[in-house]
Structure 1
């Protein structure tokens, strides 16, 4: 089975980003992909997107639904800032089926916070409200667990997905260039190995209109931890063939999901 991954350099122009994502859906469909994965903040990279997305929830949902329907494919729209009643946004993944129906959504649970030695700092909780529920959805890849970017640093989330034996996990991201260079590959490979499933991580790349720099390197990792796709730093759409038999091979050879134990912590 073939999937497609869109690596973007999204700006603060929602309309321009919508048009580009629609083009990418067409590329994915013509290339024979069953599903396209987009990165975090696919429709808007902005230090404060609240005024940009205000009153556009229904419009953006309709546009994304139309992309899936028009191209006859599954669309994981990465994450889209969604206006909430308290004035903040949810950082929300949206997954559409080929008939245009919204199959699932997931609100990012762990909100990014960092104060790097080079002076770069982030605190998503000032603008975003956190979700509190894990979500799975049936897709062409099988049962898929949903997560977003900073969630990657919290293995208990993926432990929960491993406990229900998901076939894949999506991690749409906008990793900073600094943290990405240090941690991106090793964390994604670790999550694939410990959950024994495919990990699909579409990413933002390059320098954005708000000045931030993101790492790129959209990855697809198999259940053995092998990197099947690494898109480097360039924007575009790439394809990856998925052999779901790799899940059973990994779990047969090293039955770590079955061997997990609960334990306490003793202090001395």
Structure 2
């Protein structure tokens, strides 16, 4: 499976962001990608005061454009994530949509873990001020392989990834807008850990560079293989990297180092942990 992983600098101009996404999808397709993955908040990344103006229903105008792109190029497309309208005024979902080559929606995933942090003097975020959390773990099948859907801050919650692996995921998508401050120390480590723990491919499209209000994204869109090796990484600019995923290699690793099969859930039941 040949996958194109997109790196963008989305900002407050939705039309420009979508035009860039379509251009990079076309570039990935021209380079032989059968699957293309876009980053988190692909259509709008800016002040929350403009969330209402940029949020949409699903299906809606942005998902229709992504469906058309998937159909035009005959590929699977992970539409990063967009602001999805909810039934609650002033509240939205951070939602990822997966399309098949006909443009049909295969799956939608609403980000479960919201980015509410306060690293005093460095990064403060309160995603839950306008975003509602999802409550469903989502997998889908593409080209005969089970894939899992996650978004950005989900990466810090290994229990989600283990559950996806137990559902059969061989590839997990992580569209992200990681901050520069946290990304420089945590991004590669976390992505490699999730791949190693679950012996799966991890595909992480990313936002890079500045956006309002006064924020900076880390970039470094990655593909990590089931051994934890970074097999593709975007340079520090907007663009796309293309990588080949070898699922026979995944099966070989799982057979030779069967950590998933060696789990002992019966021994874990005595611990006060809720998953």
- Please give the TM-score of this superposition, normalised by the length of structure 2: 0.93
Matches within 5 A, 1:68-83: 68-83=70-85
Structure 1's consecutive aligned runs of 4 or more residues displaced over 4 angstroms after TM superposition are 54-57
Instruction: Please state whether the residue corresponding to 1:257 is helix, strand or coil.
Output: coil
Quote the Cα distance in structure 1 between the aligned partners of 2:29 and 2:105: 18
- Aligned residue in 2 for 1:3: 3
Task: Using the TM superposition, give the Cα deviation of residue 56 of structure 1 relative to its aligned residue in structure 2, in angstroms.
Answer: 6.1
Question: 2:184 matched to 1:181?
Answer: yes
- Aligned residue in 1 for 2:234: 231
- Aligned residue in 1 for 2:30: 30
Instruction: Please state whether the residue corresponding to 2:121 is helix, strand or coil.
Output: coil
Quote the Cα distance in structure 2 between the aligned partners of 1:141 and 1:167: 10
- Please give the TM-score of this superposition, normalised by the length of structure 1: 0.95
Structure 2 alignment gaps of length 5 or more: none
Instruction: Please state whether the residue corresponding to 1:204 is helix, strand or coil.
Output: strand
User: Contact 2:3–2:245 at 8 Å: present in 1 too?
Assistant: yes
Task: Give RMSD over aligned pairs.
Answer: 1.5
Task: Using the TM superposition, give the Cα deviation of residue 83 of structure 1 relative to its aligned residue in structure 2, in angstroms.
Answer: 1.1
- Aligned residue in 2 for 1:265: 271
Matches within 5 A, 1:31-70: 31-48=31-48, 49-54=50-55, 57=58, 58-70=60-72
Deviations 1:139-164 (A, max 9, x none): 13710011000000001101101212
Question: 2:245 matched to 1:242?
Answer: yes
Structure 1 alignment gaps of length 5 or more: none
Aligned length: 266
User: Contact 1:9–1:205 at 8 Å: present in 2 too?
Assistant: yes
User: Contact 1:44–1:80 at 8 Å: present in 2 too?
Assistant: yes
Matches within 5 A, 1:84-103: 84-87=86-89, 88-103=91-106
